[in-house]
A and B are shown apart, each in its own frame.
Chain A
Amino acid sequence: MEELRTIPIEYYLYLSTVLFCIGVLGVLMRRNAIVVLMCVELMLNAVNLLLAAFSTYLSDAQGQIMVFFIMVVAAAEAAVGLGILVMIYRNTKSTDISLLDKLRN
């Protein structure tokens, strides 16, 4: 763990912020629902990285426990999301989210 602490905490902060921003941009710009889902996972993993880094830096286990919960919830969310995508694919034969604009008027 000593080696970890020689890397300043800011570096982790910057890295995860960059990863998070890539995820946010992906969600906002991509049109394929599966890619959007992947970008959301990227955001969550950026958070996980940050939490693990803080947890080590603060010598406090709470952050790592939070990481466990985030991973499990992310898996549950992905399962539900894929289920919804399959349902939509069966009806429209596409995963392009810009096709879904029936509700806008």
Chain B
Amino acid sequence: MTALLIIFATAIFVLFAGLTKNRSWLQPLALTGCGLALGVTLFELLGAGPGGWNHMYADMFEFTDYALAFSAVALVSALLIIGLSGYGFRSLHDTLGDNYGLILFSLCGALCMFSFTNLTMLFLGIEILSIPLYVLAGSRRNDLSGNEAALKYFLMGAFTTGILLFGMALVYGATASFDIHSIASAISDGRHSAGMLHTGIILILIGLGFKVSAVPFHFWAPDVYTGSPNLITAFMATVVKTAGFAAFYRLFSVGFAPAIDFWSIPVAGMAALTMTVANLTAIFQTDFKRMIAYSSISHAGYLLLAILACDVPGSEGALLFYSLTYSVATILAFGAYMTIAEPNDDGSFEAFNGMSKKQPLLAAVLAISMLSLAGIPPTAGFFGKYFLFTAAFAKYPWLIVLAVINSAVSIYYYFKIIIAMYFTREENDYAVVTSPGIRWVVVLGLLLIAFLTIVPGSVYALI
């Protein structure tokens, strides 16, 4: 809660600071807020505990270690993204303060989604997360593809909200409560009407499936990811995905746990479809952002395994570790991508040709993040997949076999970029433009990946 309050206050502060003429200290201000919130969250997570916040606000929140750890992941991602923003936001002079403010407001929504105990709070969290993002997706006002992305994201988001809410209403009608613990006890006591509950769970599943872009509800994601400004795409692919899955996991592992036999079948189908379809489509992409979009859909497929294994001890830790490694690797990849794609206005794989000679450090960073996303053994991404797959193996061996095959397929398209950077003869005369911020982000991100690679157990065992 402390982190939520700090981020909210910072957001308002940044919003008003954006009205003044001097905009150079907006980014440091936003970074300070995020850093402070991260420090407080880590302090609460590692030692102090959440303090007296737990039973305030009519038990709407519950600041367990789970909530705090995921808040830390979201805050780290936001910190890195805002660190990159000296770069991605260059074209937005007059609305800079609004953009930082909206990112921070969106982060508030994510923090609500980690700690909710009431479906009302989940709904509000999702909306607080999404509504600023609709605006941010269209923040380049004269760019038609940005406009299209904003409209698509908005219409899909609003539609999804409707479906999710209808599901929530049916669950409320079936169990007479919005509180996830009461819902769980109502289901296990049999004090519910099964038809309404099951329809409600399916509708909520569809709604959350849209939000985390699981197949067959993924079709909006590639368009929206491609059309949005790079930095916002990075935010959507990391913070939004983490928040979506953390909320998904929390709702289904606490609230709907007694009905696991009912919902595990559709979720397993969704996971299998998501992995396969996304990986097969990603192979044929020629645009970096579109490839990252399909890659993020495929990672949603792997993350669904954690939800399937939610009654296995260790699945929470696996979800946490995977989210963190995936987020850091994706943000680093975007950081490197922006330095080459933004100045030259070319997002295809060919833009990376010969990058290893021009910018050895950035090329190495991009290569490491690609290896991590692909899950090649010594990297952090490998441990993420390992924890996740072992958690789900006992219950769904066939799904794990499929996941391993899919990981092997994914190596192909991640390596396309490494090949372009290191092994392509033909070169381009593209300039690489870096900013001071990106160096710090890259160093921090690399340190984090190194930490996760060397002592993976420390994060895995946090919750």
Contact = CB atoms under 8 A, between A and B. Distances in A.
B176 A58 contact: yes
B131 A62 contact: no
B169 A92 contact: no
Given A33-B155, A44-B165, A73 B173 contact: no
A62 B162 contact: no
A65 B120 contact: yes
A23 B162 contact: yes
B144 A91 contact: yes
A100 B224 CA distance: 12
Contact of A102 (B119, B120, B145, B168): B145
Given A50-B169, A73-B123, A27 B147 contact: no
Residue of B147, B168, B177, B223 ringed by the most chain A CB atoms within 10 A: B147
Given A44-B165, A50-B166, A80-B131, A100 B141 contact: no
Contacts of B170: 50
Contact of B162 (A43, A80, A85, A97): A43
B159 interface: yes
A103 B227 CA distance: 7
Contact of B154 (A43, A70, A84, A92): A84
Contact of A83 (B120, B135, B152): B135
Main secondary structure of the interface of A (DSSP, over half): helix
Main secondary structure of the interface of B (DSSP, over half): helix
B77 interface: no
A91 B142 contact: yes
A76 interface: yes
A14 interface: no
B41 to A, nearest CB: 26
B162 A44 contact: yes
Given A50-B173, A87-B147, A77 B161 contact: yes
Given A81-B158, A83-B135, A69 B120 contact: yes
A97 B148 CA distance: 9
Interface residues of A, number: 45
Interface in A78-95: 80-81, 83-85, 87-88, 91-92
B173 A54 contact: yes
Interface size class on chain B is 35 or more
A62 B123 CA distance: 14
Interface in B198-235: 222-223, 226-227
B151 A100 contact: yes
A73 B152 CA distance: 19
Nearest to A49: B169
Nearest to B203: A20
Interface string A39-78: 0100110110011001001101011011001100100110
B150 interface: yes
Contacts of B165: 43-44, 47, 70
Given A76-B131, A83-B135, A40 B158 contact: yes
Residue of B119, B134, B158 ringed by the most chain A CB atoms within 10 A: B158
Contacts of B178: 62, 66
Nearest to A20: B166
B459 interface: no
A46 B127 CA distance: 18
B124 interface: yes
A102 B131 CA distance: 23
Contacts of A91: 142, 144, 147
Contacts of A47: 162, 165-166, 168-169
Interface string B170-195: 10110011100000000000000000
A69 B173 contact: no
Contacts of A27: 155, 159
A40 B120 contact: no
17 contacts: A23-B162, A37-B158, A43-B162, A43-B166, A46-B166, A50-B166, A54-B173, A62-B120, A73-B127, A76-B127, A81-B154, A81-B158, A84-B134, A92-B147, A102-B227, A103-B145, A103-B223
Interface of B: 119-120, 123-124, 127, 131, 134-135, 138, 141-142, 144-145, 147-152, 154-155, 158-159, 161-163, 165-166, 168-170, 172-173, 176-178, 196, 222-223, 226-227
